[in-house]
Amino acid sequence: MADIEGFGIDPLGSTPGELLRSIEDLAPGPLVMSALLMIDRSALDADDAVRYLGIHDRVASWWAALQADALVAATGPSALVSEFLVLDPRPDHDAERTIRIEDAAREEVAAALRWSPATAQRSMDHARLLAGPLRETRDCLELGEISSMHARVICEAAERLSSRDSDDEQFTDECAALQQRVLRMARRSTLSRTKACLNRAVEAIDAAGQARRRQRARCTRDVQVSPDVDGIVTLVARLDALTAHAIMRAVNAAAAGPVIAGEPTATAGERRAEALVALTLGSTAEGACSDAPVGMSPGVTLDVTLDVTIPVTALQTSSDEPSAITVAGLPVEFAEVRRLLDDPAVHAHLRPVITDEHGHILDLGRRRYEISAALRRFIVARDRVCRFPGCGRSAEFCQIDHATSWDDGGASDASNLGALCVRHHQLKTHGGWDITESARDGSCTWQSPQGRIHSHVPLALAGQPPPPF
């Protein structure tokens, strides 16, 4: 068989190694991608497998560059702001106000690709940078010289430059200087070394802005809890560098103390965790594997209110201690709740949250309720987050919106109400998005301005399997 044009060899009659070597120096594109698809990966030896991975990585970069181009085509080269003039609906108020929605196309992209709105916005912003002042970075990405992760951190560094929101010409010049300093490193080194190079470049290019950013960054200090699995959560503290390292030194010093006699041997990580508890709550570490509640120092009391989620099926059994319960959305054993209640240092107020067999809320410990704070509490506990597809904004900070508006005959009940963040409430009211179906369990169906249909089902609270389709 004659050679197929572009390969230099007959790809069907060649070994995987021969085919890989024939495309190794070609620019990534459809030809190289098709060659990779011809190869049986399980038949590769170790050397050819590494060669395959290198070529595949360059093709993935090329493919990411094409996606960035499509994102710009879908959303425009710059942010589009839509404005809507609305009248104040309150009696005796004739005032007009303007509603501004920036980048309304974001939700069309996010819902179609099953991205969160935040992910979609970040991808759009980066695509626009790559199509504009970071074009050289985009060209390197298309040629497979850098990975999509390298391109992402370069975009993030450019977003930090002070001129981004004030002077387009200066921003373009500073992006060119940034790429000149960094792309050589990005082409030949790891992501972490590229990040370090970017930090130095931003410091040199925008020294005054960096000083202001350091000062502003102190306002972003925070402490948050992120749920993991098996009854463990991650406590994250965002602090200035000196304070964080000082705390870590104190934790390490406390963790290096003597092991309590008779306790199981703990890992270094467990000892650090116990040390942090002791330093924070003033308790004496009781051993990493102890089941006893954390002791509190004299005079220190925890006052907590917890939603205890109990499946209705558990209430229909004769057991006094249902096992499939959750507290604050995390699965726990009933014995853990009992220990919490028995701790004299904890004043716990428990509110029952009754769910159906699929984990969707039926009641909040009341059989009847009015359209009031109690109904809002029900909606917040049921939805947990904004019920726009992919949005993760906590329902606690959302507005309670009618799926079918009150003026159109929509009822103010659980079937027609749901949590929406301000942006997605505005998109529903003014941006062409519509809820076509809404159910008491919080599920709903959306139709986008371009006619795409998206379904939203709230997360089950009690760990039950989802309802059948």
Confidence of residue 327 (pLDDT cuts 50, 70, 90): low
The verdict on residue 384 lying in a domain is yes
DSSP 323-391: SSEEETTEEE-HHHHHHHHH-TTEEEEEEEEEE-TTS-EEESS-S---TTHHHHHHHHHHH-B--STT-
For residues 392-407, give the mean pLDDT.
88
| Domain around 315 | 302-361
What pLDDT, on the 0 to 100 scale, is given for residue 210? 81
- 120 pLDDT more than 90: yes
pLDDT (mean) for 146-155: 97
Lowest model confidence (mean pLDDT) among 143-147, 349-353, 458-462: 349-353
pLDDT, position 313: 54
Condensed to tens digits (0 to 9), the pLDDT of residues 303-325 reads 555 556 555 555 455 455 544 55
* Higher local confidence (pLDDT), 332 or 26: 26
% residues pLDDT > 90 (the chain): 44
pLDDT score for 338: 64
pLDDT in tens, 223-271: 988 888 777 889 999 987 778 878 888 888 888 876 554 455 778 888 8
| pLDDT for the residue numbered 295 | 39
The reply to whether 167 and 200 lie within a common domain is yes
Q: Report pTM.
A: 0.69
Question: Is residue 397 scored above 60 in pLDDT?
Answer: yes
In a domain, 280, yes or no: no
Q: Are residues 372 and 333 part of one domain?
A: no
- Please check whether residues 374 and 445 belong to one and the same domain: yes
Judgement on whether residues 112 and 193 belong to the same structural domain of the protein: yes
Give CA 8 to chain center in angstroms.
46
Residue 467 placed within a domain: no
Average pLDDT, the chain: 80
Q: Tell me the average pLDDT across 406-428.
A: 88
Q: Are residues 188 and 111 in the same domain?
A: yes
Amino acid making up residue 402: H
Q: Tell me what the mean pLDDT of segment 360-380 comes to.
A: 61
- From residue 22, alpha-carbon distances to 12, 27, 140 in Å are 13, 12, 22
Least confidently predicted of 120-124, 288-292, 384-388: 288-292
Q: Model confidence over 27-80: pLDDT tens digits? A: 999 999 999 999 999 989 999 999 999 999 999 999 999 999 999 999 999 988
Q: Which pLDDT value is given to residue 91? A: 61
- In this structure, are 435 and 379 located in the same domain? yes
**Which pLDDT band, with edges at 50, 70 and 90, does 84 fall under?**
confident
Identify the CA nearest to 418 among candidates 407, 435, 408.
Answer: 435
Are 348 and 340 within 8 A, CB to CB?
A: yes
Q: Is residue 89 part of a domain?
A: yes
Q: Answer whether residue 345 is part of any domain.
A: yes
Tokens of 94: 């004739």
DSSP state of 394: B
In this structure, the answer to whether residues 147 and 122 fall within a common structural domain is yes
For residues 213 and 310, membership in a common domain is answered with: no
94 and 207 co-located in one domain: yes
How many other C-beta atoms lie within 10 A of the C-beta of residue 92?
Answer: 5
Residue 254 pLDDT: 86
End-of-domain residue from the set 200, 218, 236: 218
In this structure, is residue 50 part of a structural domain? Answer: no
Buried b (16+ CB within 10 A) or exposed e, 269-283: ebbbbbbbbbbeeeb
Burial class (CB in 10 A: 0-12, 13-18, 19+), 42: exposed
Domain end point (choices 155, 188, 218) = 218
In the chain, the number of structural domains is 3
Same domain, 202 and 78: yes
- Residues 92, 115, single domain; the answer is yes
**Boundary of a domain, candidates 218, 252, 280:** 218
Residues 449 and 328 in one domain: no
Nearest one of 451, 455, 308 to 390, comparing CA atoms: 455
441 domain residue, yes or no: yes
Domain-embedded: residue 283? no
With a cut of 50, say whether residue 398 has pLDDT above it. Answer: yes
